[in-house]
Amino acid sequence: EALKKIQDKQRELTQERSEASSKLKDLAATRTELGNKKKEVQGKLAEAQRLLNSLTAAEKAALDAEQARASRASADRVQLGNSAPASGRAGAAFSAAQSKIGSPYVYGATGPSSYDCSGLTSWAYAQAGVGIPRTSQAQANAGTRIYSQSQLQVGDLVIFYGDLHHVGLYAGNGQVLHAPRTGTVVRYESINNMPFQFGVRI
């Protein structure tokens, strides 16, 4: 009986060792894959930086002027209609974000002079006295999801792309107020310019 128990325990331990070994292999593969992706992203960033560095001063000035013109034009053209905000807090958050139109996009920035996409939305809601998570992926789970664009109200978070890596604030009339990407500023843009996933009502 004692020998049988020992043999059973040995079988269990062998099985657990086998499972642990398999998990370690999976983790090693994942680590390698993440390392390769990191290298790929760093390579693309370095290439983009090389391209920027290769521009002459005149070309850089022209590029900056074009970006500024596009941002001004988007602010001038936008017709927001008279959609009501989702709530008093959402309205306050949206007003705070509006006050930052023209502020530069800086990756990882959370204000008060520059922002990335989720930095802007988390800062705006903080001005309304509401704490929401810092990243777009976490903000996607911070409230009630709204899958129909027709149900969106001013101040709702709007999540874009399949991996949920971009977020803005719904501005009404099919427009989003957001911090788009490096080289741009906080501005309005059509919700249809990006792959809409869903809204989130805080």
| Domain with 184 in it | 83-201
- As a whole number, the mean pLDDT across the chain is 89
State the pLDDT at residue 50. 86
Is 64 contained in some domain? no
Catalytic residue selected from 78, 117, 176, 202: 117
State the pLDDT at residue 137. 95
pLDDT bucket at 51, cuts 50 / 70 / 90? confident
% of the chain at pLDDT higher than 70: 92
Is 31 contained in some domain? no
pLDDT bucket at 79, cuts 50 / 70 / 90? low
Is 101 contained in some domain? yes
Is 69 contained in some domain? no
State the pLDDT at residue 53. 82
Q: Is 178 a catalytic residue?
A: yes
Among 156, 154, 115, which Cα is nearest to 139's? 156
State the pLDDT at residue 55. 80
State the pLDDT at residue 57. 79
For position 112, which CATH number holds?
3.90.1720.10
Q: Provide the number of structural domains found in the chain.
A: 1
Q: Is 117 a catalytic residue?
A: yes
Residue 164 has pLDDT above 70, yes or no: yes
Catalytic residue selected from 71, 155, 178, 187: 178
Catalytic residue selected from 166, 172, 180, 198: 166
Is 126 contained in some domain? yes
Is 157 contained in some domain? yes
- Using CA atoms, how far residue 135 sits from 122, 126, 143, 170, in Å, is 8, 14, 14, 17
pLDDT bucket at 134, cuts 50 / 70 / 90? very high
pLDDT bucket at 48, cuts 50 / 70 / 90? confident
129: left (phi over 0), alpha (psi -120 to 50) or beta: left
User: What is the per-residue burial (b if ≥16 Cβ within 10 Å, else e) of 88-103?
Assistant: ebbbbbbebbbebbeb
Among 114, 153, 149, 117, which Cα is nearest to 132's? 117
Residue 75 has pLDDT above 60, yes or no: no
Among 48-57, 138-147, 175-184, which is the least confidently predicted range?
A: 48-57
Residue for token pair 């998990």: 23
